[in-house]
Amino acid sequence: MHSPGPLALVDTLETNQRMIHTELADLTHAESLVQPNFNANCLNWVIGHILSSRDICLKLLELPPVLSEAETTTYNYGSDPLTSAEKAIQLSDLVSRLDASFAALSQCIQALSSAQLEVEVQLWDKPQPLGGMLAFFFWHEAYHVGQLNLLRQVAGKNDKTV
């Protein structure tokens, strides 16, 4: 299987970014921390988790991450539900970091050749083409972006964003 080209990757990332901004419109930090009464995490955690995944992509591209190690621990896969306001990053700060990570990733990926996207990288159990790995992470991000509308409603918004 060949890796998607740089423009396809950036298009997916751009769509995710636009949808995140749509779902976060008019949300307060306090609303982002409202915990659902079912087995899921709050909106703030989902945004931080998207950032922790983007940090993996940034590292694969040899760019600096946007979260510290301690912050990543709070938002990583398998972490405890985010119920402490003290552990949560302010929503406005998360949005700024999303914008910074988007800019860095899109600029770097657009500059990559198809051959560079085929170079194998080692992340988990077996080497994968860089482009395929980025495509996986952007799919994973889209999965979580899909959760944001429901979490927006849990946070108290009774609207239609899309």
pLDDT digits (tens, 9 = 90+) for 133-157: 999 999 999 999 999 999 999 999 9
Check residue 2 and give its pLDDT: 64
Q: What is the pLDDT of residues 22-55, one digit of tens each?
A: 999 999 999 999 999 888 899 999 999 999 999 9
CA–chain centroid gap for 28, Å, is: 19
Q: What are phi and psi of 128, to 5 degrees?
A: -135, 150
User: What secondary structure does DSSP assign to 1-51, as a single string?
Assistant: -PPPPHHHHHHHHHHHHHHHHHHHTT--HHHHTPPPSSS---HHHHHHHHH
Mean pLDDT of 122-142: 93
Q: Could you tell me the pTM of the whole model?
A: 0.94
Check residue 133 and give its pLDDT: 95
65/29 Cα distance (integer angstroms): 23
Check residue 81 and give its pLDDT: 87
pLDDT category, 123, cuts 50, 70, 90? confident
Mean pLDDT of 66-94: 93
Mean pLDDT of 67-85: 91
Domains of the chain (ranges, CATH numbers): 6-154 (1.20.120.450)
Considering only residues 126 and 162, tell me which one the structure prediction assigns the higher pLDDT. 126
